[in-house]
Chains A and B, each alone.
Chain A
Amino acid sequence: MDRQNNILEYLDNIVNICPDKIAYANETDELSFKTVYDNSRAIGTFLHNEGRYKEPVVVFMRKHPDTIVTFLGVVYGGCYYVPIDNEMPRHRIELIFQNLNPKAVICDDSTIDSIKDFDYKGAVYHYNEIVKTTVNQAALDEIRDKALDTDPIYIVFTSGSTGKPKGVVACHRSVIDYIETLSEVLEISEDTVFGNQTPLYVDACLKEIYPTLKFGAKTYIIPKELFMFPIKLVEFLNKYKINTVCWVVPALTLISGLGALEKVVPQHLHTIAFGSEVFPIKQFNMWRKALPNARFINLYGPTEATGMSCYYIVDREFALDEAIPIGKPFKNTEILLLTDENKLAPKGEQGEICIRGTSLTLGYYNDFDRTNEVFVQNPLNTMYPELIYRTGDIGKLNERGELVFVSRKDYQIKHMGHRIELGEIEMVMNQMDGIQSVVCIFDNDKKKIIMYYVGDVTKADAVNYCRDKLPRYMVPNLVEKLDIMPLTSNGKINRLALKEKYANR
Chain B
Amino acid sequence: MKALLEILEELHPEIDFETHKSLIDDKILDSFDIITIIAEVNDEYDVAIPAHEITPENFNSASALYELIERLMDED
Contact = CB atoms under 8 A, between A and B. Distances in A.
22 contacts: A225-B24, A228-B24, A228-B29, A228-B30, A228-B56, A229-B55, A229-B56, A231-B51, A250-B31, A254-B31, A258-B38, A258-B51, A259-B51, A260-B51, A263-B50, A460-B13, A463-B12, A467-B14, A472-B30, A477-B32, A478-B10, A479-B13
6 smallest A-B Cβ distances: which pairs? A260-B51, A460-B13, A259-B51, A228-B31, A227-B31, A228-B34
B10 A258 contact: no
A467 B14 CA distance: 10
Interface string A237-262: 00000000000001000100111101
A250 B49 CA distance: 19
A227 B31 CA distance: 6
A227 B48 CA distance: 19
B73 interface: no
A459 B13 contact: yes
A416 interface: yes
Measured as residues with beta carbon below 8 angstroms from the partner, the interface class of chain B is: 20 to 34
A238 B33 CA distance: 25
Given A463-B13, A478-B10, 8 more contacts: A227-B31, A231-B52, A260-B51, A263-B50, A263-B52, A459-B13, A460-B13, A477-B32
Nearest to B53: A231
Contacts of B51: 230-231, 258-260, 262-263
A464 interface: yes
B11 interface: yes
Given A228-B30, A463-B12, A479-B13, A258 B52 contact: no
Contacts of A232: 55
A212 B38 CA distance: 37
Contacts of B35: 254, 257-258
A231 B14 contact: no
Interface residues of A, number: 26
Interface of A: 225, 227-232, 250, 254, 257-260, 262-263, 416, 459-460, 463-464, 467, 472-473, 477-479
B1 interface: no
B54 A477 contact: no
Contacts of B29: 228
Contacts of B56: 225, 228-229
A229 B24 CA distance: 11
A406 to B, nearest CB: 26
B13 A231 contact: no
A254 B30 CA distance: 12
Contacts of A467: 14
Interface string B1-44: 00000000011111000000000100101111011101000000
A477 B52 contact: no
Contacts of A262: 51
Nearest to B36: A477
Interface string B43-68: 00000111110111001000000000
A223 B34 CA distance: 16
Contacts of B31: 227-228, 250, 254
Given A227-B31, A254-B31, A416-B32, A464 B14 contact: yes
B57 to A, nearest CB: 10
A231 B52 CA distance: 6
B50 A259 contact: yes
A250 B50 CA distance: 18
B37 to A, nearest CB: 10
A327 to B, nearest CB: 28
B70 to A, nearest CB: 20
Contacts of B24: 225, 228
Contacts of A472: 30
A250 B48 CA distance: 20
Contacts of B49: 258
Contacts of A258: 35, 38, 49, 51, 54
Contacts of A260: 51
Contacts of A227: 31
Nearest to A262: B51
B3 to A, nearest CB: 17
